[in-house]
Amino acid sequence: MAQTLEALTRHSKTLTGIHGIVHTMKTLSAINAAPYEHAARSIEAYHQTILQGFAAFAYRTGGINLRHADAAEHLVIVFGSDHGLCGNYNEVLADAVQLHCQSQTIGRQRLLCIGAQMNDALGDQGLMPEAVLLPPASADGIGRLAGDIAARIDHFSRDQPLQNLAVTLAFTQRGEHGTREPSIQRLLPLAPLLLQREKHWSSRSLPDYTMEADALLSSLIHGHIFASVFRASAEAMVTENSARLALMQQAEQSVNERAEAVKGEMRSVRQTEITNELMDVIIGFEALKKKQKPHGQPD
């Protein structure tokens, strides 16, 4: 159905407004991702120090083989998004968590969820988190969230050794070529490689420590938990903003294409109206000419 020039003009103005909103959201996504990415790099440097501490502890103490009792419960911490406009971000991760929980042989699964929308996505998969935490509103909030989760892990341990717990982090991370993919990473029990003694120390200054071995190992584990949770939260926020940026770029392209199509329709309708007006003028002029000719005068 052909549209009038007035309707097309209103449509064009609406698309211009939508384009401004989409462009603003795209700019905000790019700006918001930077602090989270900086936080992820910063915590990675701290985490490397913790890992070096594990290596030094193992070298000084000797190869350590921690005895892991069979965990009766498995805690899965899922990092979702509550900010919207990022597509199926939560649903894809919820599917991966559901498959992970099905593959586990541990008796009881317990879930800790970050984000109300992720809570809904997990509910659609038949998974009911015991608690739902708010995602960080800014990069400064990542430390608060990581500290809260670390405290909940301590409470989950019920005075058991931390190395006997089963804790998994589930979050979305950046993949190759700008893609995103769900990541399921085991946090506890500790990976055996963390406490494997190296044959040769990389420096002539051999590592040593003065505090009690159990206290030092516990401190290293707590630092490892905090750094891992912090990094997972920061990476999830970077990926969320990257997903929103990609969707806004697609939306901006679609709006631009539709705006160009509307402008083409406007030009066509305007040309048609001009042609019709010219034809009306010509027809009127011809009618006047015939009316003004003397009776009986040949054309």
Cα separation, 293 vs 291, in Å, equals 6
Cis peptide before 189 (omega within 30 of 0): yes
Neighbouring C-alpha atoms within 13 Å toward the C-beta of 125:
22
Tokens of 240: 């969320």
Q: What pLDDT is attached to residue 260?
A: 87
164 has pLDDT over 50: yes
> Distances in Å between the alpha carbon of 190 and those of 16, 185, 186?
54, 11, 8
Q: What are phi and psi of 187, to 5 degrees?
A: -95, -50
pTM of this structure: 0.78
Point out which residues pair with 75 in neighbouring strands. 110, 167
51 has pLDDT over 70: yes
Nearest to 229 by CA among 136, 163, 106, 157: 136
Nearest to 187 by CA among 128, 136, 232: 232
Tokens of 258: 């539709």
Mean pLDDT of 77-93: 86
Looking at per-residue pLDDT, the higher value among 233 and 205 belongs to 233
168 has pLDDT over 70: yes
Cα separation, 48 vs 43, in Å, equals 9
pLDDT in tens, 230-267: 999 999 999 888 888 888 888 888 888 888 888 888 88
Point out which residues pair with 168 in neighbouring strands. 76, 186
CATH classification number, 25-201+221-249, choose in 3.40.1380.10, 3.40.640.10, 3.40.1190.20, 3.30.70.360: 3.40.1380.10
pLDDT in tens, 106-115: 667 889 999 9
Most confident of 24-28, 124-128, 211-215, 286-290: 124-128
Percentage of the residues of the chain whose pLDDT score is greater than 90: 26
Nearest to 80 by CA among 124, 35, 25, 22: 124
Mean pLDDT of 211-237: 91
Burial class (CB in 10 A: 0-12, 13-18, 19+), 224: buried
Cα separation, 108 vs 158, in Å, equals 15
Cα separation, 150 vs 156, in Å, equals 10
Percentage of the residues of the chain whose pLDDT score is greater than 70: 89
Q: What pLDDT is attached to residue 1?
A: 45
Domain ranges of the chain: 25-201+221-249
Averaged pLDDT score across all residues of the chain: 84
